[in-house]
Amino acid sequence: MLAQVAADPWVRWSWVRDHTDDIGDSLQEHLVLTGLTLAIGMVIALPLGVACHRWKRLYPAVLGVAGVLYTVPSLALFAFLLPFTGLSRTTALIPLVLYTLLILVRNVVAGLESVPADVREAAEGMGLSPARRLMRIELPLAVPAIVAGIRITTVTTIGLVTITALIGQGGLGSLVYDGLLRDFRTPLVVGTALTVVLATLADLGLAGVQRVLTPWARGR
Amino acid sequence: MRRTRSGAVGAFALTFMLLLGACGGSDDDGVTAGQSESKGTCAGFKGTEELTVGGTNFSEQEIVAELYAQCLQAAGYKVDTKLKLGAREVVQPALERGDIDILPEYVGTLLTYLNGSPTTDLPKTLSDLKASLAPKRLVVLTPAPAEDKNGFAVTKATADRLKLKKLSDLQPHAKDLVFGGGPECPERPLCLQGLEKTYDLKFKEVKRLDSGGPLTKDALQKGDIQVGLIFTSDGAVPARNFLVLEDDKKLQPVDNVVPIVRQDVLKGDVEPLLNSISAKLTTEGLSELNKRVDVDKADPDDVARDWLKANGFT
């Protein structure tokens, strides 16, 4: 598609200069959508994962539902949601949040499951109630797996946010979309490059968070 | 362990606060303030209501939506825009729901979407469209002369070589030519089915590309196809030396640009204001606007602003 536009440079810097506000707004919207998606996703996934850990029979059912939701195309979800939630941020967030659940719940459960049996028995022996055991021992020890899940989810969400350009949201996706619609390389390249940079920075940042949260794992 | 736990919880909370902290932004991507000190047709209208102008995902929609929005704003309305939206399937529910108040549409295409049958007769098509939209409390205003409908284009070189002016001239040559259109074209009565039925055109090969998009235009220019579906108001027609063949047997129904407005907001000067814009909007004018956005890569809002000024609206 781009082959014929020989005269069109990959980036027209004059366009970038004239549109710094638009690019900044898109970047901000992208961060907002990603942040909200992960925050809401964790608020749902954390208790759900704990519940799945406690009541084992729940786990396959939750994974099954999350797995099916993961396969629903976002466009179909948008079409389904539009009559109810309209062209709002909510319509953009619902599919994005649903897509995070599969990985987040799985990692919360994996994290809790990774707690060594002797640690759990020791906590029990110290007389900690199940709730305190969860808060003081199990969740902190599950942090590496949970943050690993958040890292994967963050990177995929940063990519997925772009699709919400279809309903007038989309952050950097609106730049990519504009570039595709007009066969115009500059917004396409700028939108794509910023998305990749954002995903990389988020991944590195979360790797740092993971380090801070698990001081016992350092220096290994 | 004790320190670790509180550290872990604190850092978790911090992470989420950082993520949420970015959420204060408002989405004030409305129309940038147009200069309203200069007098023009738009400033002659008056209104203060809040209106949302929508548009789907191609430049012409964005340009015409900007024309409406900027003129309304110059008249004093508080205007928000929701542009580059997905297809009609996204926009029509939004319009019925009131997320959008005003939308540039096309009389024929919209009537087809609503399961009606547009014809080459504009008043008939218009009255059918009005009847279909009335139950949804949507009003059809006066259409512009500008039409954006399926056109079938060849390069000027092909036209000269085969002496083509109108679609019926293609009949003896079609068996040697490759046709390109949208992926849905072979199933659409106004596209390949219509060309076969009305013009008896049987092409050597049919390529499923895009509906008058970059793939079709590039393929036409490069010679991968010789006949391509191109929309009549496309800026590429003048920019790339294409010739849209005349629809001499009237296959294509009318498809004039027309504002659709929610009945609830159709008060005061909204109708005369939008009609005054439509009156000045021609197919040639629209192709030129499209060329500036699609080919010259100017911003739709700037192009709309220039047009409004040049035509005495602002």
Task: Please determine whether the domains at B41-147+254-310 and B150-244 fall in the same fold group of CATH.
Answer: yes
Please calculate the CA angle B241-B245-B249 and round it to the nearest 5 degrees. Answer: 170
Alpha-carbon gap, residue A29 to A150, rounded angstroms: 20
Domain B150-244 has CATH 3.40.50.10140: no
Other beta carbons within 10 Å of B231? 25
Summarize pLDDT for B5-39 with one digit per residue, the tens.
344 444 444 444 444 333 333 334 444 444 444 57
**CATH for the stretch B41-147+254-310:** 3.40.190.10
> In chain B, which residue ranges form alpha helices assigned H by DSSP?
2-21, 41-44, 59-74, 88-97, 107-113, 122-133, 156-162, 192-199, 214-222, 236-239, 270-280, 283-290, 300-310
In this prediction the ipTM stands at 0.78
Considering only CB atoms, A87 lies closest to which of B11, B59, B94, namely B94
Average pLDDT over residues B177-197: 92
Burial B160-170 (b: 16+ CB within 10 A, else e): eeeebeebbbb
Mutate to test the interface with A, among B9, B12, B299 (most CBs of A within 10 A): B12
Q: In the sheet that B178-181 helps form, which strands lie side by side, from edge to edge? A: B205-208, B178-181, B227-231, B150-155, B242-244
Report the percentage of chain B scoring pLDDT > 90. Answer: 75
CB contact under 8 Å between B218 and A78, yes or no, is no
**DSSP 8-state secondary structure symbol assigned to residue A55:** S
Assigned CATH for A27-212: 1.10.3720.10
Task: Report domain extents, chain B.
Answer: 41-147+254-310, 150-244
Residue A177 C-alpha, separation from nearest chain B C-alpha, in angstroms: 8
Q: For residues B215 and B229, is the Cβ–Cβ distance under 8 A? A: no
Question: What confidence tens digit (pLDDT) does each residue in A37-58 have?
Answer: 999 999 999 999 999 999 999 9
The amino acid at residue B61 is Q
The amino acid sitting at A76 is A
- b/e string for B114-127 if b means 16 or more Cβ within 10 A? bebebeeebeebbe
User: Residues B246-288: pLDDT tens digits?
Assistant: 899 999 999 999 999 999 999 999 999 999 999 999 988 999 9
Encoded amino acid at A2, one letter: L
A205 has a chain B CB within 8 A of its CB: no
Query: B147: which strand partners?
Result: B256
- Rounded percentage of chain A residues whose pLDDT exceeds 70: 95
A187/chain B closest Cα distance in angstroms: 10
The verdict on a CB contact (< 8 Å) between A212 and B16 is no
Task: Average the pLDDT over A194-220 and give the result.
Answer: 86
